[in-house]
Structure 1
Amino acid sequence: MTTHKLLFLPGDGIGPEVAREVSKILTLLSEAGIGTFETEEDLVGGAAIDAHGVPVTDATVKLAREADAVLFGSVGGPKWAGVRYEHRPEAGLLRLRKDLGLFANLRPAICYPALASSSSLKPELVEGLDILIVRELTGGVYFGEPKEIVTLDNGEKRAVDTQIYTTGEIDRIARVAFELARKRRNKVSSAEKHNVMKSGVLWKEVVTQVHAADYADVELEHVLADNCAMQLVRRPKQYDVIVCDNLFGDILSDAAAMLTGSLGMLPSASLGAEDAAGRRAALYEPVHGSAPDIAGQGLANPLAMIGSLGMALRYSLGLGDVADRLDQAITNVLDSGSRTRDIAAPGQNALGTAEMGNAVRDALKPLLA
């Protein structure tokens, strides 16, 4: 059997709880002869600050580079609210993205039929929803320099964040979006603000050039990011793949996630460029945060974390067929009426974290036979 090397970074809050449910799935896959999964675990975020004084160590970054895939839980919480900005828990995740070159963030927004009524929108607007947001992850305003707060001569303070993009950065994320669209419904919507931002002007220009040169078979539309946000609420199923910069991708992907009923349902993948051997650095994480208010209570929904494993199987481990079966197992569990607290109807008896993990494992087992 092929050996796959995985690094677990459970992090803070509910991260360790949902990560444990992934381990159950991996054990089942090993028992079914799918492959051998070598796992290692390390600290990130607040847990790393407590142990090492920094949100991620050089040694952990090295382990991440050597792994076939990183499975990341969540970081942050009120316990670390007073740490220096540069050492906040979230800085550990930002460093991993930057140092591993994880420039392409894939965030699906899928509304399972059984959960259409859980969305804040009318069921007919979201039932069957399946869109993918491709977010540029290592450039833009989150990383641009200068990034500072300075005191002016008159005593006022001025804050500066710099939005920077190069042709190459836009070109490579556009190609990821077009390639993914070819495997889906063959449509890309490029969201930016060329009407008020020079970076948006360049973004639109480069995406248009890439499309004309190599992807003319894919439908392309340009949409202003604010209008895209409105359309996601008005008529979300008009979209297939949405490609956008770091800032707009952060905002639009959270909006799209809530169309599905719960942040606890959605996985994500962050991918680097392929090397000469076709291997790419990759980190997989649930969209939800650390949820410190329910941490340690066994209430968290593990489906986003389990779905993140599914994306790892598909994009890093060459096990797309197994990923399909894992997706089907999740669908079957939801169709059976099983719910965690975040997606349960009022008065419904909700499953705990471990119970939901067990339900997915049990539903997957016959699909692997």
Structure 2
Amino acid sequence: MAVLAVVTSLSLDLPLRDPDGFLGPAYLRLPILVGGAFFADLIPRTIWRSHFDPRQFKRQARLIVREHWTRERIQLVLIGLLSFYATYVSYRNLKNFLPFLRVKPNGDPITYDNFMLRLDHRLLLGHDPATVLHHLLGTGVSAYVLSWVYLIFLPMVPIAVIAWVVWSRNVSFGYWFVTADCMAWSLGTLSYYLIPTLGPNFQAPYLYKDLPDTGVASLQDSLISGRHELRFDPFINAVQSVAGFASLHVGITLMMALVAQYTVRNRLIKIVLWTDVVLVTISTTYFGWHYIADDIAGAFIAVFSFWIGAVATGQRFDRRGRSSHPTTTTSRVPVDVED
């Protein structure tokens, strides 16, 4: 992904951009992420294991570092975060280049939105998916709830990576998640170029005129304005982030839930993640981010990435795929078949 982003940047003579540069340069954010992951694990566990006795803090902290922060764990954290960040930044830049690469002879970007709109109507026997959801769920409180669900995805992406590389019970589970995550972002990028679309809200905004002014509405206005500005001035300090097929909100959240189903013991976490998959999928249609085909493609990307990640990191599925166990081990984290 990184090589492809660099080659594309050079061929278009357009700069690579740090998509979240407003948070500071990458060379500062990455050490902060690594340090934050370390202290997010160390501090609460030290306090808990010392029973809130300050005299035990130092001793317990040393024990936790010795027990948990092994060489293999540190390697996982560094490799995992660097791989994710390189993939994600490349994804954002390749998405940014899309309107300049997939173009008609007259220079306008190629889109398949009209076809996708017709497909949605045929699948629902002449009805529009968003309109159906607006009638079923209403356009009041539900809009604000679904807006929050959709927007929480943004911080969930890096938090989930940190959670798996720091707290996975077996180091191979962390590699499984990171591999599946990077694969999903990469396949999502490919899908943008195969079938470029804007999304129903940008193609047919009249379908969403009854929705209130939520955080999602503000984000959509910002994204479409940024796309128009970038098309006329490719060198502005911004990235265009409008692409519909496939839905990576669906792809990434479903991939998280699938990996959690096989690697996490806590039932509540699994319930929360599967509930999030359902609500995110609904929100993508409710607000017009995606067509039905986008969500289906996102689900396919999730399942395929989950499986590829499992194979690549030595996971073996049991009971006709209903459970799994790792076949890889490390010097300090032995394989436990019951895990």
- For the criterion TM > 0.5, the same-fold answer is no
Q: Structure 1 length normalisation: TM-score? A: 0.23
Which has the larger share of strand?
1
Higher helix fraction: Structure 1 or Structure 2?
2
Structure whose alpha-carbon radius of gyration is higher: 2
